[in-house]
Structure 1
Amino acid sequence: HKKHLLLTVCLMWKVRGFSLHLFLLAGVQSNGWSIHVPSDVTGELGKMVVLPCTFTHPYKTFDRTLTAIWRIKEPYNGTVVFKCTSQSASELCKTAVSYKNKYKLFGNPRHKDLSIRIDNLTWSDSERYFCRVELSGDIHDKYESRNGIKLHLIAAPRIINITVSSNGDHTFQARCTAEGEPAPTLTWSSPHHSNLTSVTSTSHRVTKELRYLTHDGKYTCTAVNSHGRAEGAVYFYKFRASNSSFFMILIFVPLGIKVLVLLVILSLTHCQKRVLTFLTSSTTRPQQQDSTYENFDRRHSSSQSLPTERPTARCS
């Protein structure tokens, strides 16, 4: 309203002849604008939610460029997470900005509906949202919600981590971390009842520690809120020095047997190679002697055919 009033005063000062007409026109435009949004919307973590926003403008028909914008955190200067533009009444609003591609137009801006859908809700989506419409023309009209919509998230409990650890003083503790909205209540159940616990929480996340574990067994962490229940368990067995020798026997006796078997196999393989070598050498030597003898006999036989050889040179 202040912008339209300032524009009217300036135009009246510049063009006196049309001052009354311009004042009436600006008044109609100013009174014809409105945006309707709920103050709060609730969505479930990991699912989708629709943020409704409808508006009115002073024109009976409008066939020029229309732009729909959604911001977060604060109006006018907040971060733009969605923007689309329609050039004419027959054209759909084309998306120009969609942060992480999770914001989609749900309404029809040409039907005065700027509603959007947010997919796969995460904790970071819990913000305040502001819708805005811009109509281009002789006077560039812009209108934005001032209070916006606060998006609240709900979530059933989920166990994020559950561990057992040791301190420098050789004591043990179990730690369970869970998240949910509202923040869940954590409860430990153990073989031995103990009230020595500590709790820390940040926003939708809670950690509860069970101190000085002394009994072996199963330790269960239960997380509960108004939307559900979750459980996680860890098994604790304290190592005792009296059982160390038995434990070492269980490890090294099978290992020693395997090493002994391997040595026997290697010894047998080596002996087998030596036997084969001996047999091979014993069978090849006579063949070489026979061959030499045959060659000698052949040389001797061939010498008989020589006419100059004397009979006394023959070997019986």
Structure 2
Amino acid sequence: MDGKTAAIGRDDSWSMKVQPEVRAIEGYPVVLPCSFSHPNHTPHSSLLVEWRQGSTLLYHCTTHAGSPACEPAPHQDPRYRLEGNPREHDLSLRINSAALQDGGRYYCRVKLPGHKHASYEDKMGTLLRVEAPPRILSLSVEGSEESGFSALCEVEGSPLPDIQWISPDQLLKGVEVGWPLGQGSPSHHHTVSQLQNIHPGQQYTCSATNPLGREQATLYVLPPRREASPGTSTPPLLLLLSLSLGAKALLLGGLGVWVLQGRAPSGLSCR
């Protein structure tokens, strides 16, 4: 992808070059390129380098005369470090183990102490897109025998996964219900699909797909147990959760248990 050049401030002898957009895969490092030029800056000049995500300052370091390194601020998050050499006008930032929440717009800034109009920043910034294969975060059942049972499938991924519900012999239509109540703020990397009117004695598969892969989880809903005779014990009935993987999807696995005894509490979750 071609870079772009932005002259910032009133001194047109400055220029800064960044990438308009950078893509990363979750869990892998990514580098955000940034370089600058200014005729008054020499390899021996001091300077201050800053990177921010939106309005949040993520990284800053300072070079000093006679020192080859750019010294990070105290308590700097070690996930961030300069990939480039500021003395060679390279301010590129490396982010180790990119996460979905790292996505957003980043801005590179440089300051030259002792020079007029000494602070410059790229105004357009670099858009970082972090991509991840689908992950099924939870599969749960809610409702009662009186009101009916529904299955909820909570999924994370980028691009946002497409969710399908499958029974052994047909595709079923789910309803997107957004972010689960009580579990933080909505995110464009998360979605929850609800399958209504599920029936004991059946199995239902939640399948999440995006360009990076596919993941599936299957519920086996067993009928509620009958009331035991006095003095006898009846083993609990189980709802089993299994996960199957598509190409390039991350390996996950789990087993959940749900007991149906007449009335089931709402919001039972198998994680």
Indicate whether the TM-score tops 0.5.
Answer: yes
Shift of the 98–104 alpha-carbon distance from structure 1 to 2, 3 Å rule, reads farther
Structure 1 or 2: more strand by fraction: 2
**Does residue 210 in structure 1 map to residue 195 in structure 2?**
yes
**Does residue 118 in structure 1 map to residue 92 in structure 2?**
no
Q: Deviations over 1:65-114 (max 9, x none)?
A: 111111221xxxx3321111111254211111675432111100000000
Helix, strand or coil: the match of 1:211? strand
Query: Which consecutive segments of 4 or more residues in structure 1 shift more than 6 A?
Result: none
Helix, strand or coil: the match of 2:101? helix
Which segments of 5 or more consecutive residues in structure 1 lack a partner in the other structure?
5-29, 253-316
**Does residue 238 in structure 1 map to residue 223 in structure 2?**
yes
Shift of the 246–99 alpha-carbon distance from structure 1 to 2, 3 Å rule, reads farther
Q: Deviations over 1:276-299 (max 9, x none)?
A: xxxxxxxxxxxxxxxxxxxxxxxx
1:45-60 equivalent positions in 2, closer than 5 A? 45-59=26-40
**Does residue 172 in structure 1 map to residue 149 in structure 2?**
yes
- Which of 209, 226, 230 lines up with 2:211 in the alignment? 226
**Does residue 141 in structure 1 map to residue 118 in structure 2?**
yes
Looking at structure 2, the residues matched to 247 and 140 of structure 1 have their Cα atoms a distance apart, in angstroms, of 88
Contact kept? 1:67, 1:135, Cα under 8 Å:
yes
Helix, strand or coil: the match of 1:133? strand
Structure 1 or 2: more helix by fraction: 1
**Residue aligning to 1:249:** 232
Contact kept? 1:162, 1:177, Cα under 8 Å:
yes
- Which of 62, 71, 80 lines up with 2:52 in the alignment? 71
Measure how far apart 1:59 and its partner are.
2.9
Shift of the 159–251 alpha-carbon distance from structure 1 to 2, 3 Å rule, reads closer
**Residue aligning to 2:175:** 198
Shift of the 97–125 alpha-carbon distance from structure 1 to 2, 3 Å rule, reads farther
Looking at structure 1, the residues matched to 98 and 62 of structure 2 have their Cα atoms a distance apart, in angstroms, of 25
Looking at structure 1, the residues matched to 195 and 159 of structure 2 have their Cα atoms a distance apart, in angstroms, of 22
**Residue aligning to 1:292:** none
TM-score with structure 2 length normalisation?
A: 0.72
- Which of 8, 18, 37 lines up with 2:18 in the alignment? 37
Looking at structure 2, the residues matched to 214 and 138 of structure 1 have their Cα atoms a distance apart, in angstroms, of 74
Measure how far apart 1:141 and its partner are.
1.9
Q: Which has the higher contact order (CA 8 A, sep 6+)?
A: 2
TM-score with structure 1 length normalisation?
A: 0.63
Q: Which amino acid aligns with 1:135?
A: L
**Residue aligning to 1:152:** 129
Larger radius of gyration: 1
Measure how far apart 1:251 and its partner are.
4.4
Deviates more, 1:160-169 or 1:193-202: 193-202
Q: Deviations over 1:39-87 (max 9, x none)?
A: 11111222221000011111373523111111221xxxx3321111111
Measure how far apart 1:137 and its partner are.
2.5
Aligned-CA RMSD value: 2.7
**Residue aligning to 1:94:** 71
Measure how far apart 1:186 and its partner are.
1.0
Measure how far apart 1:117 and its partner are.
0.6
Q: Which amino acid aligns with 1:119?
A: N
Percent identity at matched positions?
33
Shift of the 3–132 alpha-carbon distance from structure 1 to 2, 3 Å rule, reads closer
Shift of the 35–163 alpha-carbon distance from structure 1 to 2, 3 Å rule, reads same
Q: Which amino acid aligns with 1:121?
A: A
Contact kept? 1:164, 1:173, Cα under 8 Å:
yes
Looking at structure 2, the residues matched to 139 and 62 of structure 1 have their Cα atoms a distance apart, in angstroms, of 18
Shift of the 234–3 alpha-carbon distance from structure 1 to 2, 3 Å rule, reads closer
Looking at structure 2, the residues matched to 229 and 38 of structure 1 have their Cα atoms a distance apart, in angstroms, of 30
Looking at structure 2, the residues matched to 170 and 191 of structure 1 have their Cα atoms a distance apart, in angstroms, of 24
Q: Which amino acid aligns with 1:36?
A: K
Contact kept? 2:206, 2:217, Cα under 8 Å:
yes
